[in-house]
Amino acid sequence: MCYGHQRSLSRDNINAPTTGRLPVRNFSVVENLRDRLAETEARLARARAREAELSRRLEEMKRFVSVMEILEDYLKRRFREKQGQVARLMSSTSRT
């Protein structure tokens, strides 16, 4: 199989004497890997910052929902109280 421009490993390639280009090639490979590592670390840092922001917003939304549930319970209770008052007023006026 052909894998692009990579040379296949054979006994001849392994035992072949190193040429002057090999250290340069190794240096460029190492530099390429360092660049890719730096890019990956930068993406990871951005992803972590995004995750922190989303977590903060989620907690804010949870607090908002809690407040809304408290208000809903309060308003339901007040509505039932007023409904009871009106029912008592209506029943007291219908008796007279």
Tens of pLDDT, residue by residue over 41-78, are 999 999 999 999 999 999 999 999 999 999 999 999 99
Q: Is the pTM of this model over 0.75?
A: no
Alpha-carbon Rg of the chain, whole angstroms?
37
- Read off the tokens for 16: 């072949």
C-alpha to C-alpha distance for 43 and 49, rounded to whole angstroms = 10
Among 58, 88, 66, CA closest to 74: 66
Place of tokens 């008796």: 95
- Does residue 8 carry a pLDDT above 50? no
Confidence of residue 25 (pLDDT cuts 50, 70, 90): confident
- Does residue 22 carry a pLDDT above 90? no
Among 32, 12, 16, CA closest to 24: 32
